[in-house]
Amino acid sequence: MDDATPATRPGKGLARSPGALAGLKVIDLTRVLGGPYCTMILSDHGAEVIKVEPPQGDEVRDWGPPFLEGDASYFIGINRNKQSLALDLGKPEGRAVLLRLLEGADVLVENFKPGSMERWGLGYEADLAPRFPGLIHCRVSGFGADGPLGGLPGYDAILQAMTGLMSANGDASTGPMRLGTAIVDMGTGLYSAVGILMALHERARSGRGQFLDMALYDCGLALLHPQAANYFLSGKRPVGTGNPHPNLVPYDKFPTRTCEIFIASGNNGQFRRMCEMIGLPHLPDDPRFADNGTRNVNRDALTAALRAAFAELDGHEVALRLIRGGVPAGPVLWTDEATGAPHTAHREMVTELGEYRGLGTPIKLSRTPGGTRASPPRFGEHGADILARHGYTAEEIARLRDDGVVLTRRRT
């Protein structure tokens, strides 16, 4: 992986600088989604991320179809810019290799069940902090290590259910519904990246690392807005309202002659402008719709009037006209439409390098822009190179492979 010249290769959304995190060394023991999403954010901006995979590989390599050269799109989407080393941490020799990798490392990210690292003699307080005092150790778990649910495994859909997020989705006819994206896993990845950067900033002052306890449970609850805020103030249990907003009207999806659009009117001025632009200038003067409070009470009548008006219009045209006129509106697009939109290309939010295509980084830095440097790695692709950089001889590497400590093929 060559950080100096990625933008000289053909592609889209490629890194044009070493990155804001160039020089940062991250050892990534995570699998599935939350942890890998966190480390991809870091790698997009120049961090050296060594992805240490178990002998069976990261299981999301199998979460397809579709596949590219045996790896599922699920894996491909969150593992670019990383180097893969396959290592059996169940063997003492494997743990010795990990300790060698941690020499000079800034960050360790793992999502083992709490207690696993401690059983291996790799716990933060007792083992790693004394040996690597500047190391930042980020643990991602389902519920944390203690408390009524401490130590239990965490899964996105289960955490959506247990943190109230499902209750905020769906409506009275469906009941609570799972969000289509893995919002808890990805939110935890984002929060973890933020926490790591906070710890790095503090380390610049103190010279000391620290332990980050990141739980999917906590991160799921932290995303429960405004439902939790509404409950704390009113004491009433929020229920799913589907597309409509629980506090604002009109804030909903409407069918048009050509496509569905979403309107998110947040104040009286926006409501009046919208009505004027869709041929209903009298509507804001109706006492039932004079302000957001009365519109909320008379939600059904207002929705019926708006649906009738929008049904006659071209959705793409009216949505663009509304948002240019200061009214929040947009067409409801499918994945292929959103990723193929002209503005998506303009913002470099689809990145390409060879056969690899993925979503680009949304973090746009002016002097140190991030981006794609390397395609997602094959299983164990960089093992020999990583070990050689950490002082292992060719004979030692061959012995580690012969002993099943380092692997080049997935163990079944």
Strand residues in 250-391 grouped as ranges (E) = 251-255, 260-264, 329-331, 350-353, 356-359
> Is the distance from CB of 3 to CB of 22 less than 8 angstroms?
yes
> Is the distance from CB of 377 to CB of 51 less than 8 angstroms?
yes
Question: Which of 50, 47, 51, 65 shows the shortest CA–CA distance to 361?
Answer: 47
Residues identified as active-site: 185
SS3 275: helix
DSSP class of residue 159 equals H
Count of CB atoms within 10 A of residue 138's CB? 26
At a CB cut-off of 8 Å and minimum separation 6, what does 44 contact? 15, 19, 80, 81, 361, 363, 370, 371, 372
At a CB cut-off of 8 Å and minimum separation 6, what does 223 contact? 163, 165, 183, 184, 187
Number of alpha carbons in the 13 Å side-chain half-sphere of residue 160: 20
Rounded Cα gap, residues 243 and 173, in angstroms: 13
Rounded Cα gap, residues 280 and 294, in angstroms: 18
Rounded Cα gap, residues 363 and 373, in angstroms: 15
